[in-house]
Amino acid sequence: MSPPHIDIGMVGHGFMGRAHAHALHTLGHVAPPSRPVRLAVLAGRDPARTERMARQLGFERWTTDWREAVADERVEIVANLAPNDLHAVVSIAALEAGKHVVCEKPLGRDPGESRRMLEAAVTSGRVHACSFNYRFAPAVALASDLVRAGRIGRPVHFRAQYLQDWGWRAPFGWHFDAERTGTGAIGDYAHVIDMARHLVGEIEEVAAHVATFVPERADDAGRAREVTVEDAYVASGRFATGALLNLECSRMAHGRKAHQTFEVNGEEGTIRWELEDFNRLRVLLADDAEPRSFRDVLVTEPQHPFLRWWWPTGHVLGWEHTFVHQWAGILEAVAGAAPLPARQATFEDGWRADLVVAAIGRAARDRRTVAVTDAEPQRTHEHRSREHHA
């Protein structure tokens, strides 16, 4: 018989640790899962900070050794919210220990890593989820429902941007170190790649340019460190369906805070969404009457995705609710109460997104169009570290 609670072991208590813990608390208030969640153990690096965050986020205990969280017999789900260099090692250890795993994006530092994660997940038979949380914004969920229902006709264009400005003043940290992060803006903003796949389908080929505008940064100790990833990229490409792809992502766009936008133009209509206008979808649907131009839809009606859990019409939701919606489906799947929602990105989606990330990087490096299926790297991080120890 299953224990009454689902115990969660969380690795990482930074930005994402706070967002996921917040969601797990909130879910119990709005849509209680079949088996309630218990925040069992939090793993971090620094003892004082981890202890403080465990108390603040409501964890029963804490550790500075993630292996303890993974080995804990009571833990059923490991939430891997650590920097990218811990995604494969922690997730694979957790799956091998029989845990279900939720891992932040990008799934791996390269497609070789994410492929190994996918294989471990499939072998384990456990629930595996890659946290492409924007799929769970109600307006985005409505967008994907409309596209799938054919309401804009066959998609012919997908264009997206993810622009921020923190890159100009950030100190050197893991985000700027290829060994720890894999890629820079390409993988960091893998959300737009996932959204392209989610809304339009598989991407067949890409061409791209990348740039590193600040090649050296001081770390917290004031030492100059070389930046080994890109600050920004632009890419174009083609989907297997023949639709065209256009992406632009940057950490260096002054004034842009979290300017994530996408637009899908179909044969008969268009859908557009912006993260900073979270609750609104701009639509022009096939059956809209003349004059045919965008309508603003405030996605807060009870019949809209996830809205039946929340407030009266017009009482808007926020970014943090994407994690609440994502966790709801994961917990029901772990409890055996329902299959994992089709909307949920799995490790397969994480791997496929990482193939596109790698293809963009290679296209920019080689100055040529690259087929996504050719993006399995010859040298994965596993190979590199083996060479390192040889």
Our CB check for ligand NAD shows the closer of 158 and 189 to be 189
Shortest distance (Å) from residue 290 CB to ligand NAD: 39
Q: Which is nearer to ligand NAD, 107 or 152 (CB)?
A: 107
Name the residue type at position 237.
G
The minimum distance between CB 323 and ligand NAD, in angstroms, equals: 8
**Among 377, 351, 355, CA closest to 237:** 355
Cβ-based nearer residue to ligand NAD, 171 or 302: 171
Instruction: Convert 315-325 to b/e letters by CB count within 10 Å (16 or more is b).
Output: eebeeebbbbb
Backbone angles phi, psi at 232, to 5 degrees: -155, 160
* 5 vs 67 by CB, closer to ligand NAD: 67
Q: How far is the CB of 23 from ligand NAD (least distance, A)?
A: 11
CB nearer to ligand NAD: pick between 16 and 196: 16
Nearest to 75 by CA among 98, 45, 48: 98
Would you tell me which residues interact with ligand NAD (CB under 6 A)?
A: 11-17, 43-45, 66, 81-84, 86, 104-105, 131, 133
Closer residue to ligand NAD in complex, CB, 11/227:
11
Instruction: Quote the least distance from Cβ 85 to ligand NAD, whole Å.
Output: 8
* Residue 209 CB, nearest approach to ligand NAD (Å): 22
Output the smallest distance, CB 66 to ligand NAD, in A.
5
**Which residue has its beta carbon closest to ligand NAD?**
14
Phi, psi of 261 (to 5 degrees): -135, 150
Q: Report the alpha-carbon distance of residue 339 to residue 45 in Å, rounded.
A: 35
CB atoms within 10 A of CB 289: 5
C-beta pairs of 171-175 under 8 Å, 24+ apart in sequence: 171/217, 171/218, 171/219, 171/220, 172/217, 172/218, 172/219, 172/220, 172/225, 172/227, 173/219, 173/220, 174/83, 174/84, 174/85, 175/229
